[in-house]
Structure 1
């Protein structure tokens, strides 16, 4: 299956330019992060198809996943 991933900040560097990532059927968000080499501690919010998710949220073909890191600065 293929999902579309979007991220900001330093996380954007881990995502293919197309934003498309191919995963095995039945994959969850945690599997996606592992395939991208992203430490889950670097993620504050996960949004899947407009709804909040977590590492155990199942993905489906065509899911749109947004990875949002913690905000810092002043």
Structure 2
């Protein structure tokens, strides 16, 4: 098992917590977390794993911090 922290930003915080702490199987990847939080892959415009752009197939490790951002609008 691994322990990770997931941080949500902007509209992802609507009806969700800002941070989650999960204990998960070692084979868990980023896409598994998106599914667990009911976030469509297409809705996550920026995915950072420990501050670095992360691919959804990347496996998570103990102590990882995953940050998820939706598309940001503005002008």
> What is the TM-score when the length of structure 2 is the normalising length?
0.83
Match of 2:52? 51
Contact 2:8 2:17 in 1 (8 A): no
**Count of aligned positions:** 74
Contact 2:47 2:55 in 1 (8 A): yes
Match of 1:12? 13
Compare the two structures and name the one with the higher helix fraction. Answer: 1
The CA distance in 1 between the partners of 2:19 and 2:46, in whole Å, is 21
> What is the TM-score when the length of structure 1 is the normalising length?
0.84
Contact 1:6 1:12 in 2 (8 A): no
Deviation at 1:60, TM superposition (A): 0.7
Extract unaligned runs of 5+ from structure 1: none
Root-mean-square deviation (CA, aligned residues, Å) is 1.7
